[in-house]
Amino acid sequence: MPKTQSKLPKQHLWAGRILKGIIRLFSWMPYSLIQKVGTAIGYLLIWLPNSHKTIAQKNLAVAYPRLSANEQQQRLKKTLISLGKVTAELGAAWCWPYKRLQPLFTEVKGQSLVDDAIAQQKGIIFLAPHMGNWELAGSIVSAQHSATFLYRPPNIPSVESFMVNARERFGAALAPTNLRGVRTLIKALNNQEATAILPDQDPGASGGVYAPFFGRPARTMTLVSKLIQRTDSTVLFIVLRRLPSAQGFCLHYLPADPDIASSNELKATTALNRGVENCIQLAPEQYLWSYKRYRKPPKVMNDIYKKKHKI
């Protein structure tokens, strides 16, 4: 549950007020202006020293080693501009009513996969990688389906209630990322509800195994395969790919490899990561390469995020 404002340190309160103010400011803008502001944020990330640029550069070098130095640099620039845009789009993702969001979803591909899943009268697990605009993808799931999401408190506690209200405003229920929350999610899926999960989020030391992601081991969650085994739910990937010139988004539904349900954890997580890779190929520059996907590597491997490393 969100902490009461009076119990938070002053610096957290001020950080939360500033962040909420910026998000509300973004929400007042038309979408065309949001894209221009996002692009400007992206160029600031390109020009100024920052961890987002450093991490993205390292991740891209691992994922696309065959690109030339110039090609790597061009992809890095597009990646940072995409990051700027998804930041500016947070105002729409958290504040706009669904009627205002709907016109942004100008194309849909793979809708028949969702229709078939509904016809099977099973729960649906939507896997939404950090790709395009994943916050808006969650909004689509909660607006179109009876949905329950697992929820982790934000790093800035004073924005928690603001974020919870935003994610619940289309009817979704939030459950904590603990055993009780997982049980709630299993019950919801068995009741033919839906959920959306970020499949490329680091599960921590106890929540996953190492599986290849673009050829390098990355800690990968086992939660998805366990949920399928407990609920016999249908699994689909969902991606909201940003279109150029402020034309909105193309909504993609993609099938998951059947191995994603395997009781063999390495087989299941390898299939999971392969599905994420397929999503990324839709628009590689729109993936969140600034996320430390390879954090805490196996002991026999170097940490690419440290200053001295070998990729």
Pick the closest to residue 149 from 174, 166, 167, 128 (CA basis). 174
Model confidence pLDDT, tens digit, residues 76-116: 999 999 999 999 999 999 999 999 999 999 999 999 999 99
Judged against a pLDDT cut of 50, whether residue 231 lies above it is answered with: yes
Across residues 238-266, what is the average pLDDT?
Answer: 98
3-state helix, strand, coil in the chain (%, to 5): 50, 15, 30
| 92 in Cβ contact with 26 (< 8 Å) | yes
Mutual angle of helices 31-47 and 51-63, in 10-degree steps: 90
Whether 20 and 162 have beta carbons less than 8 Å apart is answered as yes
Torsion angle (degrees, nearest 10) of CA 21, 171, 89, 246: -140
Segments making up each domain of the chain, as ranges: 5-286
Please report the beta strands in 146-257, taking only residues with DSSP state E, as ranges in sequence order. Answer: 148-151, 173-176, 194-197, 208-213, 216-221, 234-242, 249-255
Q: CA 46 to CA 44: how far, in whole Å?
A: 5
Tell me the average pLDDT of the chain.
93
- The pair phi, psi for residue 281, each rounded to 5°, is -65, -15
Mean pLDDT within 266-293:
98
Query: What does the pLDDT look like over 300-310, one tens digit per residue?
Result: 999 999 976 55
Lowest-pLDDT choice from 9-13, 61-65, 267-271: 9-13
Instruction: Say what the pLDDT of residue 77 is.
Output: 98
Share of the chain above pLDDT 70, in %: 95
Number of Cβ atoms within 10 Å of the Cβ of 81: 20
For 108, phi and psi rounded to 5 degrees? -135, 130
What is the per-residue pLDDT for 236? 98
Q: Stretch 48-53: mean pLDDT, rounded?
A: 97
pLDDT at 81: 98
Q: What is the pLDDT of residues 254-275, one digit of tens each?
A: 999 999 999 999 999 999 999 9
In this prediction, residue 15 has a pLDDT band, given cuts at 50, 70 and 90, of: confident
User: pTM score, two decimals?
Assistant: 0.93
Give tens-digit pLDDT for 118-159.
999 999 999 999 999 999 999 999 999 999 999 888 777 888
* pLDDT at 151 (0 to 100): 86
- Give the pairing type, strands 194-197 and 124-127: parallel
Confidence check: pLDDT of 18 > 50: yes
